[in-house]
Amino acid sequence: MKTASLPFLLCLAALALVGQSGCSSQPPPRISYQDPITTIRLYVDERAGAGHSHPARVTTEQIARVLGGLRVVPRSGFIGSLITGDTQGAPAFTSTEIHLLAAKVSHALVEATPRELVTFYRRISDPGAGLAITSGGMFVQGTHLFVILANNRTLPTDGMNQNMVMDFDPVDSPLVPISRTSFRLEFTPSTAIVPEDRRESWPYIDDGRILAVDLQQLDREMKLTPPTPGP
């Protein structure tokens, strides 16, 4: 395996996590949960400004609703979706993944300090494609839950056509996107998304993969949604 781009990746990880102009050493992350395929960590966030609204009590149900509302839209079809009004988005997480992650992310937000954010990382074994990675992070600012989805079932080799000469597994830098061209992030119901001009600024390397959900509005939307009829 070639390693010529390793310094570049390390700098990219630092930029994605702390928004500085160069590489810098950071305190090691705190592990909230870990098993062979899933890791939930708390990273120091130097972009936190006056601090995030942590510890944050976001319920397991609220996290599950957010995870269930995330949609990934292929960037190759984004122009067409603007014309048709159809986002063509696919759910970012399966029901099994939502069940596994919701309580753990909710618990991590309670553990987080105002200077930290919560990251998640999952290794997914696809019989057809092989190893794939889903990773990102969350933090709370007031009633807004910020969500970053850096990778969604992304192959470690997907970045090799974008100035990388090695495959890359972001286990230690879960906010670093392996590929910058594959997808953008959407959310349903869209009325729960906080417009950029009404939310705290938190610059990210790919503004198409970060959004903020108004938890109060999401709760209102869920109360208005009729239950799905049983079989």
The mean predicted confidence, pLDDT, of the chain is: 83
Question: ∠38-180-119 over CA atoms, to 5°?
Answer: 30
- Cα–Cα distance measured from residue 226 to residue 2, given in angstroms and rounded to the nearest whole number: 54
pLDDT tens by residue, 64-112: 999 999 999 997 754 444 444 445 689 999 999 999 999 999 999 999 9
**Cβ 214 vs Cβ 187: under 8 Å:** no
pLDDT tens by residue, 165-175: 456 889 999 99
More confident call, 127 vs 210: 210
- Cα–Cα distance measured from residue 34 to residue 121, given in angstroms and rounded to the nearest whole number: 9
Question: ∠40-220-65 over CA atoms, to 5°?
Answer: 25
- Cα–Cα distance measured from residue 12 to residue 118, given in angstroms and rounded to the nearest whole number: 19
Q: What is the DSSP code (8-state) at residue 21? A: S
3-state secondary structure 115-155: CEEEEEEEEEEECCCEEEEEEEEEEEECCEEEEEEEEEEEC
